Amino acid sequence: MGKEIVSLKNVYVYFDSIPVLEDISFSIKQNDFLAIIGPNGGGKTTLLKVILGLIKPNRGEVKVFGKDPKEGRKLIGYLPQYTFFDPEFPMSVFDVVLMGRYKGAFKPYSKQDKEAALNALKAVNMLEFKNRQIGKLSGGQLQRVFVARAIVREPKLLLLDEPTTGIDPNIQESFYKLLSKLKKKMAIVLVTHDISVVSTYVEKIACLNRRLFYYGSKEAVLKNLKEAYQYSVDLITYELPERISRRNEKDDRDSSI
């Protein structure tokens, strides 16, 4: 089963009185490989930021490694959907990864920091590129470097927000095999629209559109969704949460009459 490392109970988040997350309750355990699926604007990125302590819920309780998220996030690696950098800036792959060990101004990197950066590059099969300028990498190579930066602190949980955006489909398979390898050392939560990930690599699925409609093993979730709503897996991932939301809103209106 594994030890619980993240717990959310009855979490609500509002932006300008508009609900973004409603009554979210679930947990993440050690070595989980979880995919969060759902339509754009359904709250997936917001959920990751709640776990990181970057967004404080309006209601509910969040515990990360038994602590407040701001305290627990030192054990989390995070790869946002968009990472902005100047491709012409003369920085090496090694230096980019080493930045993941940044401790504050005027605090030099230690020998242990540099060893950790080399180990992280080795883990993502990018060690041979350590001296290459970051702007000279392909999209797939660049994403591996950013993963290395996210894991250089040896986190217990890795959060990835649509990490294959902009990556050539031919490269994506090797990227997900890398995640399967990393999963042996940490729990992974992956926001994705990639059907192959849902059906092949991950072990659990959360179907999110403001509310958490389904959460559990991928076999059970996909079977229940497909049998209940007669949709293909493609339509489930892209369209179904939106349609379920509209159905539930209609049910709420009907029950109030």
CATH number at residue 200: 3.40.50.300
Q: Is residue 102 part of a domain?
A: no
Higher confidence at residue 223 or residue 41?
41
Q: Is residue 167 part of a domain?
A: yes
Q: Is residue 242 part of a domain?
A: yes
* Beta strands in the chain, from DSSP E residues, in sequence order: 4-15, 18-29, 33-37, 59-64, 76-79, 157-161, 187-191, 204-209, 211-217
CB 74 within 8 A of CB 158: no
Residue 84 above 70 pLDDT? no
Tokens representing 72?
């627990």
pLDDT computed for residue 157 by the predictor: 96
Q: Is residue 29 part of a domain?
A: yes
Alpha carbons within 13 angstroms on the beta-carbon side of residue 182 total: 33
Q: Is residue 244 part of a domain?
A: yes
pLDDT computed for residue 237 by the predictor: 45
pLDDT computed for residue 141 by the predictor: 86
Mean pLDDT of 28-37: 92
| Model pLDDT for residues 133-181, shown as the tens digit of each residue | 988 888 888 888 988 999 999 999 999 998 877 666 767 777 888 888 8
Mean pLDDT of 189-202: 83
Residue 249 above 70 pLDDT? no
For the chain, how many structural domains are there in total? 1
Q: Is residue 51 part of a domain?
A: yes
C-alpha separations of 39 from 42, 43, 163, 166, 256 in Å = 5, 9, 16, 18, 27
Q: Is residue 117 part of a domain?
A: no
pLDDT computed for residue 140 by the predictor: 82
Rounded to two decimals, what is the model's pTM? 0.81
The mean-pLDDT minimum among 9-13, 89-93, 102-106, 197-201 falls in: 102-106
Hey, which of 174-178, 188-192, 194-198, 250-254 has the most confident mean pLDDT?
188-192
Q: Is residue 125 part of a domain?
A: no
Tokens representing 214?
């389904």
Burial group, residue 60, by CB count within 10 angstroms (0-12, 13-18, 19+): middle
Instruction: Count Cβ atoms below 10 Å from residue 117 Cβ, excluding itself.
Output: 25
For 205-217, the DSSP string reads EEEEESEEEEEEE
Range of the domain at 55: 4-86+155-256
Higher confidence at residue 254 or residue 82?
82
Nearest to 203 by CA among 34, 44, 37: 34
Q: 53: which DSSP letter? A: T
Mean pLDDT of 234-253: 47
| Model pLDDT for residues 116-132, shown as the tens digit of each residue | 999 999 988 899 999 99
